[in-house]
A and B are shown apart, each in its own frame.
Chain A
Amino acid sequence: MTPVPPERHLLRAKDLADARYHEPLDVEALARAAFVSPAHFSRQFRRAFGETPHQYLLTRRLERAAELLRNTDRSVTEVCLTVGLRSVGSFTTSFKQLYGVTPTAYRAAHPPTQRARVPTCVRQAYARPLSSFEKTRVEPRANVVTVIAIE
């Protein structure tokens, strides 16, 4: 049997963040999904995917929040809680750092997207704001990493 590269296990942590971002997930839970000790997990994840699990989970949540801001009329607080973040203040701060505007301003500037037949998994993958590596779509400012303590 050909051995599986260890990254295959780390991929399970990434999948978990994509699937359960709306739950009170933390980095420890992601580490468990990857069968990696928490002590080594963040470093290994970063080596495999280019950013820390904390950054990945946060940007996934912000991407989902942006989608809800565009396509629903839920309040900013509701959006924040819906994507698994607990502090509206931290949410607003980190959203502004990644998207350059507050959630309210973002909503005003972005009318609902048209319903093209693009699968949602594709949408999610391409719309996630970048935190640690090269920026292409949004202009993240420095020090994004420490903004939110994920529950």
Chain B
Amino acid sequence: MLKQLTHVQVWVNDQDEALAFYTDKLGMELREDVTLPELGNFRWLSVGIPGQDVSITLMAIPGPPVFDDETREHIRQLLARGASGGLFFAADDARAAFQELKQRGVEFTQEPTEQPYGVDAGFRDPAGNHFRLVQQTAEVPSL
């Protein structure tokens, strides 16, 4: 059966811009950066949080032959409108992480806020992907 989640995919508007953001600003490490001429210079680019095995694949939105121009444009539009889904990150100290990331120029949509499940903040990458930064409370509220 399924053993492990290894990669999650995130659409990005520009891979170079995304790589700089995820490494320089978010502090992730570059894991894979392979360009394949036989695939029309498809670039497999992934980053990850040091110490955690799951990688985030920063995927450029492909045109033909993968998607027709219209589909590609739809995805671009969804991304820019913030409709592309999101990822949830954990931090030991969400407020400290917020300060650090904000100083580095990360665009926050919500400052760290007390919630029943912990301290929760929100930010976006340059493309518009939505991320949460959560410091979970030790005690899990009952359902």
On A, residues with C-beta under 8 Å from B are 1-2, 4-8, 10-12, 14-15, 18-19, 48-49, 114-117, 119-121
**Dominant secondary structure of chain A at its interface with chain B:** helix
Q: Is B35 interfacial (CB-CB < 8 Å)?
A: no
Instruction: For A5, give its contact among B80, B124, B134, B142 (CB under 8 Å).
Output: B80
A119 touches B117 (CB 8 A): yes
Q: Apart from A119-B117, A120-B115, what 4 extra A-B contacts exist at CB < 8 Å? A: A6-B80, A117-B141, A119-B134, A121-B130
B110 touches A18 (CB 8 A): yes
Number of B interface residues at 8 Å Cβ cutoff, please give it: 33
On B, residues with C-beta under 8 Å from A are 13-14, 16-17, 60, 76-77, 79-82, 88, 107, 109-111, 113, 115-117, 120, 122, 124, 126-128, 130, 132, 134, 140-143
Chain A residue at minimum C-beta to C-beta distance from B109: A15
| B87 → A minimal CB distance (Å) | 12
B81 touches A49 (CB 8 A): yes
**Dominant secondary structure of chain B at its interface with chain A:** mixed
| A41 → B minimal CB distance (Å) | 15
Within the assembled complex, what's the spacing in Å between the Cα atoms of A11 and B79?
Answer: 10
B122 touches A121 (CB 8 A): yes
B120 touches A120 (CB 8 A): yes
| B41 → A minimal CB distance (Å) | 14
A11 touches B80 (CB 8 A): yes
By a CB distance below 8 angstroms, the chain B residues around A115 are: 116, 141-143
Given contacts A11-B82, A14-B82, A121-B122, contact A5 B76 (CB under 8 A): yes
Within the assembled complex, what's the spacing in Å between the Cα atoms of A117 and B118?
Answer: 10
